[in-house]
């Protein structure tokens, strides 16, 4: 399994608006082959949000990023594009292989 982290620095005062974009998302990724789950992580300190997706393989993630659904989900309709001032610089994308994990037993 792999974990993809998109680190996005959100400018002060835009956190709620940024989070609303995810509440109202198209949900296209959810149906993709190899998709496991996603998380939006709000910073406790600082301004960098993490958008984390989990995939069965790098190939599944790459297939998503080259799909028409990805283009559709990342194309902003007129009036829907986030304001440029919402972000503080470019986002950083990281891909990690999950080599071990543990969870609390139920």
Domains contained in the chain, number = 1
Q: From first to last of the 106 residues of the chain, give the pLDDT tens digit.
A: 999 999 999 999 999 999 998 888 778 899 999 999 999 999 999 999 999 999 999 999 999 999 988 887 766 554 577 888 999 989 999 999 999 999 999 8
Residue (of 81, 76, 70, 80) closest to 28 by Cα position: 70
CATH number assigned to the domain comprising residue 16: 3.30.70.100
pLDDT of the residue at 76: 59
Domain assignment present for residue 103? The answer is no
Give the chain as a 3 state SS string.
CEEEEEEEEECCCCHHHHHHHHHCCCCCHHHCCCEEEEEEECCCCCCEEEEEEEECCHHHHHHHHCCHHHHHHHCCCCCCCCCHHHECCCCEEEEEECCCCCCCCC
Domain extent at residue 92: 2-97
pLDDT in tens, 38-62: 999 999 999 999 999 999 999 999 9
In DSSP terms, 8 is beta-bridged to: 49
Domain assignment present for residue 104? The answer is no
């Amino acid at each position: 399994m792999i974990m993809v982290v998109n680190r996005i620095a959100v400018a002060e005062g835009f956190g709620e608006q940024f989070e609303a974009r995810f509440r109202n998302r198209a949900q296209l990724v959810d149906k993709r082959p190899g998709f496991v789950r996603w998380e939006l992580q709000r910073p406790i300190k600082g301004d960098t949000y993490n958008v984390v997706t989990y995939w069965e393989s790098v190939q599944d993630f790459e297939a998503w990023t080259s799909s028409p659904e990805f283009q559709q989900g990342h194309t902003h309709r007129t009036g829907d594009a986030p304001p440029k001032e919402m972000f503080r610089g470019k986002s950083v994308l990281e891909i990690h292989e999950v080599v071990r994990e543990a969870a609390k037993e139920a």
